[in-house]
């Protein structure tokens, strides 16, 4: 890869804005190996050198991995002529090349990964990879044991094939008294969960994605906010994105 400037390295790993990075370096909070570095012009080799910020080892990646808690009313697209997009929520982020890993319906909330890592997106959304997508589903009416069984076995939703086998279990009712289930699917067909529940005689009134593969929605992220994934989360996704 060759050498790059320290300030460029820190920008690539999303430590902060350019102004913040200059301050961090000037304050002596960054070191290469055991040596504190106070000049952003200092060069290093990302493949050979170890960089620390506040004594925490940094993992270098030029690719971006962003967790968004998608709010309702926003479309999972990079561009839309009518509605606000998830890309538009990424304030102060260079969005060129970023794409959502799969889509959530406009009125669906919860976990959405945005990245410029194309192979990872394919690994996460391809039905053949059988990656778990876990949802909290609030329903119009109670779901019978038979309906739960049908959801788990796969149902006809108007496509050429039935949905893949899923996993479903009841959760406590919400504060409005609506029945709630947890549903884990391995596909991402258009309006799939709504169509699955319609197929068993029910209706979705609220839908939220809680996880995708090993990646769990950060409970500290309010709807509409985001953060970069940690090195541990990125590694887990790449290693455990398929079964």
Residues annotated as catalytic (active site), given as ranges: 105
- CA 11 vs. chain centroid, Å, equals 21
Contact 36, 28 (CB under 8 A): yes
Order of all β-strands in the sheet with 51-53: 35-36, 30-32, 51-53, 56-57
Q: Which of 64, 77, 66 is nearest to 116 (CA)?
A: 64
Alpha carbon distance, N-terminus to C-terminus of the chain: 32
CA–CA–CA angle 30, 31, 37 (5° rounding): 80
């Amino acid at each position: 890869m060759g050498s790059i400037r320290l300030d460029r390295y820190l920008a690539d790993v999303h430590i902060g804005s350019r102004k913040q990075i200059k301050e961090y370096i000037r304050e002596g909070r960054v070191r290469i190996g055991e040596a504190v570095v106070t000049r952003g012009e200092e060069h290093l080799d990302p493949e050979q050198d170890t960089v620390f910020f506040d004594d925490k080892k940094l993992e270098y990646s030029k690719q971006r991995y962003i967790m968004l808690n998608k709010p309702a009313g926003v479309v999972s697209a990079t561009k839309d002529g009518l509605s606000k997009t998830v890309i538009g929520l990424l304030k102060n982020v260079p969005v060129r090349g970023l794409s959502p890993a799969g889509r959530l319906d406009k009125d669906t909330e919860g976990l959405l990964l945005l990245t410029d890592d194309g192979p990872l997106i394919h690994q996460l959304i391809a039905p053949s990879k059988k990656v778990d997508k876990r949802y909290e589903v609030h329903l119009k009416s109670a779901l019978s044991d038979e309906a739960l069984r049908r959801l788990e076995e796969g149902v006809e939703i108007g496509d050429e094939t039935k949905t893949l086998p899923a996993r479903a279990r009841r959760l406590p009712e919400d504060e409005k008294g609506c029945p709630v289930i947890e549903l884990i699917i391995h596909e991402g067909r258009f309006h799939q969960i709504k169509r699955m529940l319609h197929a068993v005689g029910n209706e979705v009134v609220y839908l939220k994605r809680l996880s995708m593969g090993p990646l769990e929605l950060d409970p500290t992220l309010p709807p509409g906010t985001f953060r970069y994934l940690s090195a541990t989360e990125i590694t887990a996704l790449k290693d455990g994105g398929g079964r």
